[in-house]
Structure formats: structure tokens, C-alpha cells
Structure 1
Amino acid sequence: MLGVVATAAAEGISLNKAGWAVLHEGTLQPPPISKTDEQFASDNVQFVEGYADINLAELNDLFEKVGFPRRDPAKLLLALEHTHSVMWIQCTKSSRWAKLGQMLGFARATSDGALSATIWDVAVNPSWQRVGLGRAVIERLTARLVTDGISTVTLYAEPNVVGLYEKLGFVRDPDGIRGMAFQRKSKTGKALIERTNRPRRPR
């Protein structure tokens, strides 16, 4: 997996009198939104921020459909509680493709709340891939992080996905920086790779 990052100079960010982050010229800018919420609404699709209304069993079902392992519900809830930003997608009208309220996609970002954030668990229901939901959820999640004043946004991507993220403003291995992950090894020396957060290509 390769590390990709969207980054900007932190000193270009300040706070206004209301305490909101102000983005100045030369800092990280929110990505353009390729398809508006109103356009998605006409397709019976809605983007939701936060985890309060997420059904953990349904989220695990989505993970399983895209090849992620199911997570322990208690640990999954704890992870969501400690996540900076959660963005998920739901269906707003029953059809032959989805039920009313069904989760169609998901992504989240952990962060220190000031300097950096990392995007994880990007998943789109296979039946709803290739219609722009993956791109849309990344655009909105990244925009939220940038608006919060975070100056470095990173994620891990498999080689066949890097081109997609580059189109969304991410840079491959900036200044030679490589993403690394600690792995346990068996007695034979073979790495025991945990697939918990292994990203898949959003559609």
C-alpha cells in the first residue's frame, strides 16, 4: 500500500472572532464537490455526518460486502466515538436496489483535531459502486477536515487506487515520505498482516 497525502502550510490557518478556522491563500483548500447533495437527493441518496444513527450490525455487513473483516461491535463503537469525522451514505427511498434508510457507503477520519488527519474504512456497497459515491464521500469528508482547519490529510491506498485519489487532490509519497505499518511476525518470520483497515477502491 502507498501513502498519499493532501497537505499545506499550517501557519496559513488562523481563527476568526467566532473561533472558526479561516483558510488563507496558500493553505489547503476544500476540494471541489463534483456532484451536489441536491443532485444526489434526486437519486434517493443522502450524506449523513456523525455516527449517532449508525446501526453497527449494518456497518459490519457493509464492511463484509467490500472484503473488510467484521469488527467487534464494542470496539467498533469505541472507534467511532474516538473518530474526528464520520461520513456515511443512506438511501432515502425503497427500491429494488436498496431499502429505505439502508447504508450505502461509509468513511471516517481520525485526527488530533488541529494538525493532521487520516482517512480510514472507505466502503461503498458493491451494488452502488461506479456511480460516484466513493468519490463523493471522500470529497465531503476531506472538505470537512479542511474546514476544521486541519492542514495535513492522509490515507493509505493500494496501487490501483492511487490514480483516483490523485484526481481528488492527494499526492503520492510527498518528499519521499512512505507510509509504514507495524506488523506482528510468526515464529517463521512471516508477517501476520491484519486486514482490519486495509482500504478498498471506492467507486
Structure 2
Amino acid sequence: RPPPISRPDSDFEAQLGVQFVEGREGILITELNELFEKVGFPRRDPDRLRVALENTYHIIWVRAARQSRLARQIIGFARATSDGVLSATVWDVAVNPGWQRSGLGRALMERLTKKLVEDGIPTITLYAEPQVVGLYEKLGYVRDPDGIRGMAFQRRKKEKASLLTRA
């Protein structure tokens, strides 16, 4: 069962002047990279990030809706990759530091999790920074009871540089 949506979209629009948007249409890659940098994520190659978004199962993001210099700007983002039937993994949950502690991170995760559960995906995983584990636990995510840790295989810097020069 997905976590309930604790605040409707209309509350966020009325109180904060923001809108939730599903899908990648309207996302400016440069703006998304700026958001990632603001939250401490590495800047990504724009072409590779574009392909990553095209291959993402579901995207939800938040934009400023009021008429101001911030209008339509990305202020929050989350996405999930999935095979569509067995499992999904949540990635890149980010909220602009100036908008943190406003409920947007929770709202993004509630909506993303709800979509995945409604699609019948039984297992949803994520990797969390220690300071946000509590939020995910409140949303129904649990730490692995066996203490299993996520692992990743990453190319060495020399290999990455070699691949970039060949491209």
C-alpha cells in the first residue's frame, strides 16, 4: 500500500505557489543540473542526463507556479527506473535548499511511491543519505533487516577519461 498523500497539490499551489509535474516534458537539462549541484549531487553530462531521463520509468518534479522571476523553475525532482513489473529504484530526489523543510521532498516521494505501487510494482528500493533515512522510514521504506548494504561497480577515473576521449 502506498503512503497516503498527506497534502493535496492544491495546498502546495495555494500556500507555496508550486505545481507538481509528471514526466520529462518541460524539464531544462541545464536547470536540472543546477538543482543537482545546489543539493551536492555531481553535475552530469547534459547529453547523458537527457538519455537517462528518456530511459526513466517515471519522473515527478516541482516547479514554481507564481508569476515571478522563478516562474516555471525546477525546485524539486525525483525519478524511478524500473522493469515495470518486479522492481523499481528511486533516484535523484532533490529539493532546492531554499525550499527544503517545506514538505516538498515528502510530497515528491509520496507521489512517486504511489504511482509505482499503483502500477503493481512490489519492490521499490532507494539509496539514502543518512540525514534523510528518517523521512523514508516515515513513508514506509525499511532498512534491510539483514543489514545488507547497497554496492555499486564504478569505472576507475582512468577508464572514464579514456571513454570520454574516444567519444
Q: Please classify the TM superposition score into its range, dividing by the shorter chain length.
A: 0.7 to 0.9
Alignment match, 2:113: 142
Alignment match, 1:37: 9
Hey, which bits of structure 1, 4+ residues long, moved more than 6 A? none
Alignment match, 1:81: 54
Unaligned runs of 5+ in 1: 1-28, 188-203
Equivalent in 70, 80, 94 of residue 99 of structure 1: 70
1:113 aligns with 2:84: yes
Q: Distance in 2 between matches of 1:159 and 1:30?
A: 23
Q: Please give the secondary structure, in 1, of the residue aligned with 2:134.
A: helix
Aligned-residue offset at 1:172: 0.5
C-alpha root-mean-square deviation of aligned residues, in Å?
Answer: 1.7
Q: Please give the secondary structure, in 2, of the residue aligned with 1:106.
A: strand
For residues 120-146 of structure 1, give each alpha carbon's deviation from its aligned partner in whole angstroms, at most 9, with x where no partner exists: 001101111110000000000010111
Which structure has greater strand proportion? 1
Ranked by relative contact order (alpha carbons within 8 Å, sequence separation 6 or more), the top structure is 1
1:181 aligns with 2:140: no
Alignment match, 1:172: 143
Q: Distance in 2 between matches of 1:179 and 1:125?
A: 26
Unaligned runs of 5+ in 2: 159-167
Q: TM-score, normalization: structure 2?
A: 0.88
Alignment match, 2:161: none
Q: TM-score, normalization: structure 1?
A: 0.73
Q: Distance in 2 between matches of 1:185 and 1:77?
A: 23
From the CA coordinates, give the structure whose radius of gyration is larger.
1
1:46 aligns with 2:19: yes
